[in-house]
Structure 1
C-alpha cells in the first residue's frame, strides 16, 4: 500500500468519475441541493450565491480524476499554484466552479472518515475532497472553491479560504478534470477511422 501511495499520476491508482454538469439555473441548482438535503457552510453559500458563479445552460459530461497531493509528485505538500501547474503538465485541468454542486449531488457514496487527530493544522478536513478550480476573485476573504465532505451521515458542499502561501498536505485529496483532448480521445480515433 505504501508503494502505491508513492506512485505518481498517471502511474497510480485513481478514482475516475463521469459527472454531468449544466442545464439548470442557479435557483434550480439550489433547489436540487435542498431536495437532496445537501448542507452548505457559509462559504459554500457565498460562492453559490455570488454573481461570478456562472451556471451553464448546456449539459455536458466531464471526466474527473481524484488524487492526492502526493500522487501529483509532492511528498512534502505543495501550494495551490504548484498543484495546478503540475496537474496541467500531466494533462489535467482545473474544474469549472460549477462542478462542485453537481458532483456533490452525484457522489452520494462518499465515505465518512473521522480523524482522531486533535490538530490538523495545514491539512484539509479529514475525509474531504477539494475540487480544483480557479478562484473567482483574488480577494483573500472570498472562498477559493468547494470541497465535499460527509459528516455524521450528512453530505456537505463547503467553501474554503486559502491564501497563495497555503501548503496542502501530501494526503489532501483533489478532483481535477481530464483535459478535453483526453476526454474525447476515443471519439477522435473513431473520426480518424472514417476519413
Structure 2
C-alpha cells in the first residue's frame, strides 16, 4: 500500500484559522470562557492551574492549520512524538498552550462531536480537535494538552492524558501553528 504525496500537508484538505492570542491573565481567560458558556473538564482545569502554563500580556496573532494524523504522512496512526516530529519536518510548529482557550473562544461553531456515537475508551473522542503543544510535565497522570469538543451543544476546552505508547488514529485531528517566514 502506498501513500500518495497529494494526501500530505500542504497538498491535502486543511482548515486554517487566524487567532488573536494573549493580552489576558489566566483568571481573565477563565472569566471570558465562562461568559461564552465554555466548560473545562478536571484535566483542563489542572493544566490551566499549573504554574508552567503562562499567558502573554501582549496580544499577538497566530495562523493555525487543522489536519489529520494521516495528512502528516502517518496513515497507520502514530505516537505523539512521531506526530510532532512529522509536523516539524513539514515546517509546522507546536502551538503555545495559551492558544487553547483563545482558539476555543474563536471557534464557537465547532461541529457536534457526540452525534449519538459510542464513547471511545483511550482514544480521542469523535469530533475532537487536539491542539499540538509542548508537553509541560512527563508525569503520565498530568495532562499533556488541550482539545476542543462540542458535546450535545456545549462547548468544551478539555485536557487529556496520553503516554508515549499511546497511538493516535490516522483520522484524529490536530492543530499546529504555521511557521512564519522571518
TM band (smaller chain): over 0.9
Q: Which secondary structure does the structure 2 equivalent of 1:137 belong to?
A: coil
**Post-superposition CA distance 1:4-52 (Å, at most 9, x none):** 9x71101001000001000001111110011111000000001111111
Measure how far apart 1:115 and its partner are. 5.5
Partner residue in 2 for 1:167: 167
Measure how far apart 1:123 and its partner are. 2.8
For the pair shown, which has the larger CA radius of gyration, 1 or 2? Answer: 1
Structure with a larger share of its residues in helix? 1
Partner residue in 2 for 1:189: none
Partner residue in 2 for 1:64: 64
The range that moved more, 35-44 or 112-121, is 112-121
1:70 touches 1:170 (CA, 8 Å); kept in 2? yes
Partner residue in 2 for 1:99: 99
RMSD: 1.7
Which whole-Å CA distance do the structure 2 matches of 1:121 and 1:156 have between them?
18
Moved over 4 A (4+): none
Question: Where does structure 2 lack aligned partners over 5 or more consecutive residues?
Answer: none
Partner residue in 2 for 1:24: 24
**Post-superposition CA distance 1:26-85 (Å, at most 9, x none):** 111110011111000000001111111100011000000000001111111000000000
The range that moved more, 132-141 or 147-156, is 132-141
Question: Where does structure 1 lack aligned partners over 5 or more consecutive residues?
Answer: 185-195
Q: How many residues end up aligned between the 2 structures?
A: 179
Measure how far apart 1:119 and its partner are. 6.0
Measure how far apart 1:180 and its partner are. 2.3
Which whole-Å CA distance do the structure 1 matches of 2:102 and 2:178 have between them?
17
Partner residue in 1 for 2:146: 146
1:19 touches 1:102 (CA, 8 Å); kept in 2? yes
